A and B are shown apart, each in its own frame.
Chain A
Amino acid sequence: MTVQTMLTSLIQAFGTTLFIFFFTLLGALPLGLLVNACRKSRFAPLSWLTKIYISIMRGTPLMLQLMVVYFGPSLLLGITVPGNWRSTAVVLAFVINYAAYFAEIYRGGIESIPIGQYEAAQVLGYSRLQTYFKIILPQMVKRVLPPVTNEVITLVKDTSLASVIGVVEMFTRAKQIAVAPHSPGMITFLAAAIFYYVFNYAVAFGMERLEKALDYYE
């Protein structure tokens, strides 16, 4: 196998990495808001359940969560899973894990907003929903960007965990190639490392631009 074949193969698998990455963010970023809202709910059982969920997501390995989501329905519940369950399960596991982390980040962001903002909005007559979406949320987004960037970068690297349930993303492919006969061997891992690094560099650059774009106010 030539280096070129190896690279082509890695790039193909990188598509799966991107798939996991984008769908996780698409699901987890908004779901985190909902989780945070449930955690703050005045309905105590909902708040408790949400706290337990966050605690489990943060307290157990993502690798294990991937296995539970993928194997759980058939092994534990006896449900016949659809044929494309593998890619659904991987995104589902990542989304529910990352939503818990994002919820905690959002919580910190919302709690750091001065009470005066709520009071000013209330006196002006804004409803609770208007206050949340027009006054609190935009300011929260700015405050949480740095910690969210950290999580997003971690996510890029975490996608490699999908290999535990046999999803052929870039890292899985790299392992397959490296052990194949007549392959470029360890160079494959170096190539994979460079892919991850460059991708993360782009992510960090993009997030930095976003932070700068919100720098127009303090």
Chain B
Amino acid sequence: MQVLEMEHVKKSFNGAALHVLRDISLHVDEGEVVAIIGPSGSGKSTLLRCATLLTEMDSGDLRYSGQTAARSGADGRAVYADKQTLKKIRGYFGLVFQNFHLFPHYSVLKNLTDAQISVLGRGKTEAQQRARELLAKMGLSDKEDAYPCQLSGGQQQRVAIARALAMDPAILFFDEPTSALDPELTGEILKVIRALAEEHMTMVIVTHEMDFARDVADRVIFMDGGVIVEEGKPEEVFAAPKEERTRQFLARFADR
């Protein structure tokens, strides 16, 4: 079963002046790791925001594990499911933000347990057990009583990943998870994501880390100007891009 199906997604801002997504379709299989690359303003983040229901699509279909979150109506506009269905669908995915967005007034442990308790209805003991498991996995067992402001950026992002995982999502989205970090801290995040990939966690990762995308992804998608220009296995896209735009983009990265 496909975990995520997005069909013919279109989105523009400022009325219809700025077309950010022009007919994008994206399917993700269970256990698949998809990396989305592309220049700034290519629509990568907007695509993630549409997938995670933070931004409403103008038109298109959105399904999680066969459940419809939105579909194009007769007039072509996207029609969203009712509140109850959307609440259920939010349980299918998690999102790791570029800027972490941890809850600053909660300790690390509470950041991980609160949504489990108040959204999933888990008991406190069960929630704490799950949280501690994940903190151990992230190498942050000694930080459960710390507050986000006491942690480095890399540690905060690992807590954010653990917070998303604690909800047991079927698919996890990453929106440039290392872009807000100092270069020496990106490694620890990439290591965590790599470990998740080895466990066959279904993931969609928007990233500017080309080497990482090549290593970790099963499929690479190159977006530019609101469309998918090229997609394929990383070795194909990186070593032998078919499209001129992909070649130009990758060449810019190779120059650095």
Q: Residues of A with Cβ closer than 8 Å to B?
A: 114, 116-117, 119-127, 130, 134-135, 138-139, 142, 216-218
* Total B residues in contact with A, Cβ cutoff 8 Å: 27
A125, B103: Cβ atoms closer than 8 Å: no
Residue of A nearest to B95 (CB): A123
Judge if B147 is at the interface, Cβ distance under 8 Å: yes
Q: Residues of B with Cβ closer than 8 Å to A?
A: 52-54, 87, 90-91, 93-95, 97, 99, 101-105, 114-115, 118-120, 147-149, 163-164, 167
A135 CA to B106 CA in the complex, in Å? 9
Q: Which residues of B contact A119 (CB under 8 A)?
A: 54, 97, 101
Whether A122 contacts B101 in the complex (CB less than 8 A), given A134-B114, A217-B147, comes out as no
Residue of B nearest to A141 (CB): B105
Q: Which residues of A contact B93 (CB under 8 A)?
A: 123
A117 CA to B115 CA in the complex, in Å? 13
A122 CA to B52 CA in the complex, in Å? 9
Q: Which residues of A contact B164 (CB under 8 A)?
A: 123-124
Residue of A nearest to B103 (CB): A135
Residue of A nearest to B102 (CB): A120
A135 CA to B119 CA in the complex, in Å? 13
Question: For chain B, what secondary structure do more than half of its interface residues adopt (helix, strand, loop), or is it mixed?
Answer: loop
A123, B87: Cβ atoms closer than 8 Å: no
Question: For chain A, what secondary structure do more than half of its interface residues adopt (helix, strand, loop), or is it mixed?
Answer: helix
A to B CB contacts below 8 Å, 23 in the list: A116-B97, A120-B97, A120-B101, A120-B103, A122-B53, A122-B54, A122-B90, A123-B53, A123-B54, A123-B93, A123-B94, A124-B115, A124-B164, A124-B167, A125-B167, A126-B118, A126-B119, A127-B87, A138-B105, A139-B105, A217-B104, A217-B147, A218-B149
B115, A126: Cβ atoms closer than 8 Å: yes
Whether A125 contacts B115 in the complex (CB less than 8 A), given A119-B54, A142-B105, A217-B105, comes out as yes
Contact of A114 among B53, B94, B101 (CB under 8 A): B101
Whether A125 contacts B105 in the complex (CB less than 8 A), given A134-B114, A216-B147, comes out as no
Whether A116 contacts B104 in the complex (CB less than 8 A), given A124-B119, A125-B119, A125-B167, comes out as no
Q: Which residues of B contact A218 (CB under 8 A)?
A: 104, 149
